[in-house]
Structure 1
Amino acid sequence: MAAEAAQELDELCYLSAQSLPTFKVSKHFQVVKLLGEGTYGKVMLAVHRKRGTPMALKFFPRKSTQLISFLREYNLSLSYCTHPSLTRALGIFFSTSSYYVFAQQAGLYGDLYSVIVSEVGLDEDRVQRVMSQLSGAVTHLHSLGFVHRDIKPENIFLCDKACRWVKLGDFGLTRAIGTTVRAVWYESPFCTPEAGAAKEAQKEMERSQNEETEKEWEDIWITVKPYIDSWSLGVLVYCLLTGCFPWEESTHDDPAYRKFKKWFDQEDEMKNVEWKGNEETVSSKIMEQKQKDNRPPSQFEGLSPLVMTLLKELLHPEAKHRGSPEDILSYLGEPWLMETVREEERKAEEAEKEAMKIRERRGVGEELLREEKGER
């Protein structure tokens, strides 16, 4: 499937390269405002002059953009992003004297990053709505043979303020499953631990340059797999619930990640222990005590046991053991924050007290009825 998808996308790029038109933006579009910009270029909100349709125009500078990269993102978005929570191209692509441009669906309410309250996050209902949609979108993309590789709040666009409809976009780093790419390290909680080898190689290269020693360094290559997106979704869950990141980078140089890794390894070790024979009862008690002693790192305080189980699946340090985006669906509908757990427990206690009062009143009523029948 993945090889077929990659070949099909290459053919689409080849065909579209033969029919890339050139014209002025102002002739066909009324540009309204800037929606976003980055290293790739910029995105402008525009209205098609003939159709009156609002759309987002994505501009790629010709000086710094390879035509194949532009065509790959355009054709992937046009032909494969058929899920309602994936941003789709609109079949309009062209070049100007300075840019390659294509039109896509516009997220008129900004991106997810713009609504996250620092050190607070989003309310739990919105978090679960967002993750439910992204689970479906990323699972769909994987089923077609592609990995997004750049899931983060800035690439998730809002179709309404309540996050009832969000769309994952920006497919510039998306590649077919099984593709071999050069490992690039960047300091971000979204960068997977397996890319850490690229960081070490980069350090060695800088050291050799400082020492002015002539040493050739080979690039480190990794294979594109769906578990790259699983890691990003795990970090995103944490970010949305807390308004923070769990760590700055996923290496042992980062104290917060180091604590998480130590805790995770102890949890994993306890999970894999096999208890046999007469030792079972004693061992269970020891196991229970160890689990109590092995508390999650301080940055995870306030998160419910349920969401911690989900995070352990998505943020598994060993890539091949990570859960899939589809697993998120199994954790929806139950509290992800401890304050929600406590509130539900309080409501349950109040409901039980009210039920007891009703039962007591009913019991008294039945007793009076029996007495009344006895007198007759």
Structure 2
Amino acid sequence: MTAAAALELDELCFLSAQSMSSLKVSEHFQVVKLLGEGSYGKVMLAVHRKRGTPMALKFFPRQSTSLASFLREYNLSLSYCTHPSLTRALGIFFSTPSYYVFAQQAGLYGDLYSVIVSEVGVDEDCVQRVMSQLSGAVTHLHSLGFVHRDIKPENIFLCDSSCRWVKLGDFGLARAIGSTVRAVWYESPFCTPEVECAKEAEKEMERRQSEGNEEEVEDIWITVEPSIDSWALGMLVYCLLTGCFPWEESTHDDRLYRRYKEWFDREAEKEEKTRHLDWSCNENQDSYTIMKENHRDNPPPSQFEGLSPLVMALLKELLHPQPKHRGSPEEILSYLGGPWLMETEREEKRKAEAAEKEAKQIRERGAVEKELLREGRGER
């Protein structure tokens, strides 16, 4: 399946290369405004002059973009992004003297990054709604044999002002599952811990250069796996709930990540011991129940203060340091509906207690009324 998807994408790229035309943007589109820009190029909101259709035009500088990478992103978005929460290309692609360009669905309300309040996050209901959509979108992409590899708030676009419908976009780094890519480390919590080796290689290269040694360090290659996206989704959950990140980089050099890893290892060790001691008593317990019990004697690191045991159980699945044991994006669906913040959990508990108290009072009134009715019948 994976190999077939990669070959099919290569074939689509080959065929589209034969039919790419050259156009003058101003003759066919009315450019309205800049929607975003980055190292890839820029995205402009435009209206098709003949059809009157609004769309986003994505411009890739020809000087720094290979035709192969442009066509890969275009064809992947056009042919594989059929989920409602994936941004899809519109079948328009062309070149100008300076750019390669393709048209895609426009996110008219900005990106997810623009609505995250620093140190606060966004409303919990919104977080669960967004993550539910992204779970489906990423699971769909994985089922077709591709990994996004660049999930972050800036690449998630809003289709309405209330953040009720979002679309994951920017497929420039997407690759087929099982393919190999050069390990690249960058200072970000979205960078997975399995590429820490690339940071060490970078340090070694700097050391050699400082010593005047021109011998290059051998490249490190890793296999593209869906677990890369799982890690990013875990980071996104934390970012949306808190408005910040749990650590700066996912390496042992980072004190906060190291503290998380130590906590995670204690959790894993305790679960292993419990499993061996009494398997029959624990085989039916879900990870949320186990996490809630463990909160008492192994509380999570301070950066997770305020997060409920339910979302901690989810983060423990998605932010597993070992990629082969990391949970899948689909598992997010199992954690929806319950409280992801301690504040919400306490409020739900308060409401439940109030409802139980009211129900008890109703039952007591009913019992009294029945008793009075019996006595009244006895008098008659």
TM-score exceeds 0.5: yes
| Mapping of residues 1-376 of structure 1, within 5 Å | 1-273=1-273, 274-275=276-277, 292-376=296-380
Report the CA distance shift for 1:174/1:118 in structure 2 as closer, same or farther (over 3 A): same
2: CA distance, partners of 1:362 / 1:293: 44
3-state SS of 1:162 partner: coil
The amino acid across from 2:44 in the alignment is M
1: CA distance, partners of 2:64 / 2:278: 63
Report the CA distance shift for 1:289/1:68 in structure 2 as closer, same or farther (over 3 A): closer
- Flag as ranges the 4+ runs of structure 1 deviating above 3 A: 287-291
Cα deviation for residue 38 of structure 1 reads 0.3
CA contact (8 A) 2:292 2:309 kept: no
> Alpha-carbon deviations, 1:97-125, whole Å to 9, x = none?
10000000000000000001111111111
Report the CA distance shift for 1:25/1:276 in structure 2 as closer, same or farther (over 3 A): closer
Cα deviation for residue 289 of structure 1 reads 8.8
2: CA distance, partners of 1:357 / 1:332: 32
2: CA distance, partners of 1:72 / 1:375: 90
2: CA distance, partners of 1:208 / 1:364: 88
2: CA distance, partners of 1:212 / 1:295: 48
For 2:285, the equivalent position in structure 1 comes to none
The amino acid across from 1:275 in the alignment is L
CA contact (8 A) 2:295 2:309 kept: no
1: CA distance, partners of 2:292 / 2:163: 40
2: CA distance, partners of 1:180 / 1:103: 29
2: CA distance, partners of 1:211 / 1:11: 47
CA contact (8 A) 1:267 1:291 kept: no
Report the CA distance shift for 1:179/1:347 in structure 2 as closer, same or farther (over 3 A): same
1: CA distance, partners of 2:353 / 2:292: 27
Cα deviation for residue 292 of structure 1 reads 2.4
> Alpha-carbon deviations, 1:214-256, whole Å to 9, x = none?
4331000000000000000000000001111111100011111
CA contact (8 A) 2:69 2:172 kept: yes
1: CA distance, partners of 2:133 / 2:214: 51
The amino acid across from 2:178 in the alignment is G
CA contact (8 A) 1:183 1:219 kept: yes
CA contact (8 A) 1:85 1:167 kept: yes
2: CA distance, partners of 1:136 / 1:87: 13
2: CA distance, partners of 1:12 / 1:348: 56
Report the CA distance shift for 1:98/1:276 in structure 2 as closer, same or farther (over 3 A): closer
Report the CA distance shift for 1:242/1:99 in structure 2 as closer, same or farther (over 3 A): same
2: CA distance, partners of 1:220 / 1:29: 44
For 2:286, the equivalent position in structure 1 comes to none
* Number of residue pairs aligned between Structure 1 and Structure 2: 368
3-state SS of 1:114 partner: helix
Q: Percent identity?
A: 80
3-state SS of 1:150 partner: coil
1: CA distance, partners of 2:231 / 2:166: 20
3-state SS of 1:70 partner: helix
Compute the TM-score of the two structures, normalised by the length of structure 1: 0.96
The amino acid across from 1:137 in the alignment is A
The amino acid across from 2:259 in the alignment is K
Report the CA distance shift for 1:61/1:320 in structure 2 as closer, same or farther (over 3 A): same
3-state SS of 2:186 partner: coil
CA RMSD of aligned residues (A): 1.5
2: CA distance, partners of 1:185 / 1:348: 47
CA contact (8 A) 1:181 1:222 kept: yes
> Alpha-carbon deviations, 1:192-226, whole Å to 9, x = none?
00011000000010011011124331000000000
Cα deviation for residue 369 of structure 1 reads 1.1
Gaps of 5+ in 1: 281-286
3-state SS of 1:31 partner: strand
CA contact (8 A) 1:157 1:169 kept: yes
Cα deviation for residue 359 of structure 1 reads 1.5
2: CA distance, partners of 1:207 / 1:262: 30
Compute the TM-score of the two structures, normalised by the length of structure 2: 0.95
